[in-house]
C-alpha cells in the first residue's frame, strides 16, 4: 500500500530466472501484489517466482503484449506497474513514479529511459531505432514522447478498460502509449528513470524485422486515425 493506494507489479517472463531473482529481491515493501505472467519458461523462472511468493499466471500463447494483456485482465489493485524481468528497469524507481503520478493526478505515466545515463544499457542499434521510432510517432501523432518504446508504465486501474489494445507482441509497448496519448480521458506523461544493463539474453529475436514492423504499424495506425 502506498498513500492508501494498492499496488500491483506486473512482470512478463520468458526464461528469465536469473534476472527475475535480482528483480524480486529488490521489490519495495509497499507493493501489495507481484503478478508474473509466464509463457511456459523452461528454466527456473517459476521456481524463483515461488521462492519470492510471487503469483504466477501461465499464458501459453507467446508474445510480450499477449502476456501483459493477460496480466491487465487480472489487476484488482488501484495501480499496476509493469517492468521487465531482466533488471533493466530498477524497482527503486517505482516510488518516485507513484509520487509523481499522485501529485500530478496522472492516470498513465511512462518511465523514460532517455536521457540514457548508462550507454552500455542499450546497444547503438537499439538507441538509434528507438530514437527514430519516437521521432516518427511524435511527427505523425503530434505527441511529445521522449521514449516511445519503454516497457515500464504506471497505470491507474480505472483506465485499463479504455486502453483498447490490439497487438500481441512487441508493438504493444508503442500501441499503449499512442492509445493513452490520443485518449483525452487517459493522457500520456513521462518521467525519466535510470536504465541499467540487462541480466541474461534479450528475447527479441529479429530486431531489424521488428523495427520495420513497428514503423509500418505506426504509419498504419495514423492512417486509421485519419479515416475516423
Ligand X SMILES: Nc1nc2c(ncn2[C@@H]2O[C@H](COP(=O)(O)OP(=O)(O)O)[C@@H](O)[C@H]2O)c(=O)[nH]1
Q: Which is nearer to ligand X, 12 or 148 (CB)?
A: 12
Query: Segment contacting Mg ion (CB under 5 A): 25-33, 60-68, 76-84, 131-139?
Result: 76-84
Comparing CB distances to Mg ion, the nearer of 106 and 129 is 129
The region, left, alpha or beta by phi > 0 then psi within -120 to 50, assigned to residue 53 is left
Cell of 193: 528513470
Phi-psi bin for 63: left (phi > 0), alpha (psi -120 to 50), beta? left
User: How far apart are the two ends of the chain, measured CA to CA in Å?
Assistant: 41
Peptide bond into 146 cis (omega under 30): no
Q: How far is the CB of 36 from ligand X (least distance, A)?
A: 8
16 binds Mg ion (CB under 5 A): no
Binding partner of residue 14 among ligand X, Mg ion, none, CB under 5 to 8 Å per kind?
Answer: ligand X
147 interacts with Mg ion by CB under 5 A: no
Alpha-carbon 219 to chain mean position: 22
Residue (35 or 186) nearer to Mg ion, CB: 35
- Of residues 38, 77, 84, 93, which one binds Mg ion by CB under 5 A? 84
Distance in Å, CB of 2 to ligand X, minimum: 23
Q: Is 38 in the site for Mg ion (CB under 5 A)?
A: no
Closest alpha carbon to 110 in 187, 168, 57: 187
Does residue 86 touch Mg ion according to CB under 5 A?
A: yes
- For residue 64, which of 170, 148, 178 has the smallest C-alpha distance? 170
Count the site residues for Mg ion by CB under 5 A: 3
Per CB under 5 A, 93 contacts Mg ion = no
13 touches which of ligand X, Mg ion, none (CB within 5 to 8 A by kind)?
ligand X
Binding site for ligand X (CB under 6 A): 12-14, 16, 37-39, 59, 62-64, 67, 84-86, 151, 202-204
Please name the residues in contact with 18: beta carbons below 8 A apart, sequence gap of 6 or more.
199, 200
Closest by alpha carbon to 52, among 82, 74, 19, 15? 19
Contacts with Mg ion by CB under 5 A lie at 84, 86, 88
Amino acid at each position: 500500500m502506498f498513500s492508501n493506494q494498492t499496488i500491483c507489479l506486473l512482470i512478463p517472463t520468458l526464461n528469465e530466472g536469473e534476472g527475475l531473482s535480482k528483480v524480486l529481491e529488490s521489490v519495495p515493501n509497499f507493493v501489495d501484489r507481484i503478478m508474473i505472467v509466464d509463457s511456459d519458461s523452461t528454466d527456473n523462472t517459476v521456481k524463483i517466482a515461488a521462492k519470492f511468493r510471487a503469483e504466477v499466471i501461465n499464458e501459453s500463447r507467446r508474445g510480450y503484449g499477449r502476456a501483459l494483456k493477460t496480466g491487465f485482465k487480472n489487476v484488482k489493485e488501484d495501480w499496476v506497474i509493469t517492468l521487465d524481468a531482466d533488471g533493466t528497469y530498477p524497482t527503486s524507481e517505482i516510488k518516485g513514479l507513484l509520487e509523481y503520478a499522485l501529485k500530478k493526478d496522472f492516470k498513465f505515466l511512462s518511465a523514460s529511459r532517455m536521457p540514457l545515463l548508462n550507454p552500455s544499457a542499450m546497444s547503438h542499434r537499439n538507441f538509434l531505432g528507438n530514437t527514430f521510432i519516437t521521432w516518427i510517432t511524435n511527427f505523425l501523432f503530434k505527441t511529445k514522447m521522449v521514449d516511445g518504446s519503454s516497457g515500464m508504465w504506471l497505470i491507474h486501474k480505472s483506465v485499463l478498460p479504455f486502453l483498447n489494445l490490439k497487438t500481441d507482441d512487441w508493438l504493444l509497448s508503442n500501441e499503449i502509449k499512442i492509445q493513452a496519448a490520443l485518449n483525452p480521458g487517459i493522457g500520456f506523461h513521462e518521467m525519466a528513470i535510470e536504465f541499467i544493463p540487462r541480466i541474461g539474453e534479450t528475447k527479441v529475436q529479429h530486431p531489424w524485422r521488428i523495427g520495420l514492423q513497428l514503423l509500418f504499424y505506426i504509419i498504419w495506425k495514423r492512417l486509421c486515425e485519419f479515416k475516423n
